[in-house]
Amino acid sequence: MYLCGIMEKFDVHILGCGSALPTTRHSSSSQVVNLRDKLYMIDCGEGTQLQFRKAKLKFSRLNHIFISHLHGDHCFGLLGLISTLNLLGRTAELHIYSPKGLEELLKPMLSFFCRQITFEVCFHEFDTKKADVIYEDRSLVVSSIPLKHRMPCCGFLFAEKQLPNHIKRDMVDFYKVPVFELNRIKNGADYITPEGETIPNSILTTPSESPRKYAYCSDTIYHPVIVEQVKGVDLLFHESTFLTGEIGRAKETFHSTAAQAAHIARMAEVKRLLIGHFSARYEDDSLFYDEAAAIFPDTILAKEMLCIPV
Amino acid sequence: MYLCGIMEKFDVHILGCGSALPTTRHSSSSQVVNLRDKLYMIDCGEGTQLQFRKAKLKFSRLNHIFISHLHGDHCFGLLGLISTLNLLGRTAELHIYSPKGLEELLKPMLSFFCRQITFEVCFHEFDTKKADVIYEDRSLVVSSIPLKHRMPCCGFLFAEKQLPNHIKRDMVDFYKVPVFELNRIKNGADYITPEGETIPNSILTTPSESPRKYAYCSDTIYHPVIVEQVKGVDLLFHESTFLTGEIGRAKETFHSTAAQAAHIARMAEVKRLLIGHFSARYEDDSLFYDEAAAIFPDTILAKEMLCIPV
């Protein structure tokens, strides 16, 4: 029962925020979204299983993995992760959402390396050309965000569903509302007393918090088309592989600069911007922050083991 | 020129000494043998490329990788490592020695993930049923050591070749030996003076150090057949997945206990024993040391980033 206004957990864990070349400073791409203790992984570069352990997350809570695109630094950790889940005796299905091609690549490896696998790995392909709902459950909708990279690639929009209203305990007691009416009332119904009097819902409840949204956009060239889809999100992760000094290289490799990430955040009027996917050529991450924050002040620098409430 | 008795570099770097389940304490299996600044990798579990960087080793010095067997914790790092070498613009061939099957598994992944590869990956299969020379160069011979595991598996014997004798500078000066004679003399020839006098080699040189040997034996059940092949080596790495308390589990999974590793070392009269491949179930590695050292005192406990001169 939602009797008070405590926000449900909705966190983003950064497991890796480096780019193609993993270094001792940054691991390959991977994040975990924790929504009410269900874990959703986004990308799974080499070493992700270890970062997952370091973040003290639980394998048993992880059932869905979203892969943005089939570059090694975003998916080389899948084999090791699946092997480990198998060794741990997992039985629950594991669902992997990705652009076309992953299943064909992984299946022969899984058949060889996880011969006696104890659970099913279910591959789901999404079309990278259109924004689409690719996953939905009771509390969450995940949509793809078509990006522009050297190969088919999508970001992901994690949109919490509207929560039921909060019951005002004192009003419910005052009108002697029976328990079996509570669910209807939480979902917006008025209450009719045994005497036939209508008690409007607004007297019995307070509205729940607005549903929160997290958008993950990596890897992509500067691509303002996405602004519409990420409009007003609570937290936007946007890749920031380069600084403006390397804008030519950014274009050439279909990546973005910190300034470009900030421009997207500003145009989309997001609440906060999180930047990562830093190129190994830069030793000092604060340069990314400085460049982005000059354009969009509410910028956060990704860092391994950082946990950000959405 | 070998004018003095300085030992040439022959080190073993431990990059990972965990077993199937990588943990925050131990990485997956990988070691690097550094013989005179040429690097030879043994096994390549997930995350090896990062451990390699942490150990401050140079990718450009690595041309040969030896894979003991095709379990994921011994080879899942190959793809990421090869991708990184490709991104770094490597041009030199990379040679990978393994039991049959690796090329077939990796080739489709390499074709997809390293499309424009700048160097050649050369796969070499060895027969895991017999001890055989699988690699040889000017200063080193690597032989396979057939082990007994759940799948075809070999260890590796790294045997340094005999070094040339050391020239005694004062004697060479005394007899006015011309420079062009030095190589022959280092390799054992006597010197004939212009007057026809024979100066015996033993007057002109001191013998070089005995060639050193490093044996890597992982993964294997207790298998005394290997004793003959690793007899008297300077350093023996022997897997020690379990403690004696789990000897049943060791047998069942074709692994060894610390005590069994020590018995092999004692029977083979090796100089020092290095143990690793520790199961994730044990929190305190010193228990492995205690168990092995009680039987074979010159035991070293493997640990990530440890560098052991052979």
pLDDT digit string, tens, across residues B57-102: 999 999 999 999 999 999 999 999 999 999 999 999 999 999 999 9
- Tell me, yes or no, if B112 comes closer than 8 A to chain A by beta carbon: yes
Per-residue model confidence (pLDDT) at position B2 = 41
Q: Which of these is catalytic: A73, A219, A234, A285? A: A73
Nearest CB to B46 within list A80, A87, A105? A80
- Tell me, yes or no, if A305 comes closer than 8 A to chain B by beta carbon: no
Q: Do B49 and A22 touch (CB under 8 A)?
A: yes
- DSSP H helices in B152-271: 169-174, 182-186, 201-204, 227-230, 247-252, 258-267
Ranges of each domain in chain B = 10-163+209-300, 166-206
Q: Quick count: other Cβ atoms within 10 Å of Cβ A66? A: 26
B92 and B119 in contact (C-beta within 8 Å)? yes
For residue B30, pLDDT over 80 is answered with yes
Nearest CB to A113 within list B49, B72, B79? B72
- CATH of region A10-163+208-309: 3.60.15.10
- Tell me, yes or no, if A100 comes closer than 8 A to chain B by beta carbon: no
Helix (H, G, I), strand (E, B) or coil at B133: strand
- CA nearest neighbour of B112 among A124, A102, A42: A102
Per-residue model confidence (pLDDT) at position A1 = 40
- CA nearest neighbour of B123 among B110, B113, B114: B110
**A87: its two tokens:** 């060794």
Per-residue model confidence (pLDDT) at position B6 = 58
Nearest-neighbour CA in chain B from A71: distance (Å):
7
A293 and A286 in contact (C-beta within 8 Å)? no
Lowest mean pLDDT segment, chosen from A59-73, B177-191, B211-225: B177-191
CA distance A200 to A192: 9
Q: ∠ CA A54-A108-A18 to the nearest 5 degrees?
A: 35
For residue B254, pLDDT over 60 is answered with yes
pLDDT tens, residue by residue, B116-171: 899 999 999 999 999 999 999 989 999 999 999 999 999 999 999 988 899 999 99
CA distance A257 to B213: 52
Catalytic residue positions of B?
Answer: 73
- CATH of region B10-163+209-300: 3.60.15.10
Per-residue model confidence (pLDDT) at position A4 = 42
Whether the complex's predicted ipTM surpasses the cut of 0.85: yes
CA distance B146 to B98: 12
Residues of chain A with confidence (pLDDT) below 70: 1-6
For residue B32, pLDDT over 50 is answered with yes
- Residue of B57, B70, B76, B90 to mutate, testing the A interface (most A Cβ within 10 Å of its Cβ): B76
Per-residue model confidence (pLDDT) at position A6 = 59
Residues 6+ apart with CB under 8 A from B66: B40, B41, B42, B43, B97, B98, B134, B135, B142, B156
Per-residue model confidence (pLDDT) at position B1 = 40
Q: Rounded mean pLDDT of B192-215? A: 93
- CA nearest neighbour of B43 among B155, B119, B157: B155
- Tell me, yes or no, if B70 comes closer than 8 A to chain A by beta carbon: yes
Nearest-neighbour CA in chain A from B24: distance (Å):
6
Q: Which residues 197-216 on chain B approach chain A with CB closer than 8 angstroms? A: none
Q: Rounded mean pLDDT of B224-230? A: 97
The whole-chain average pLDDT of chain B stands at: 95
- Residues in A closer than 8 angstroms to B27, CB to CB, are 50
Single-letter amino acid, residue A218: S
Place of tokens 């090791």: A80
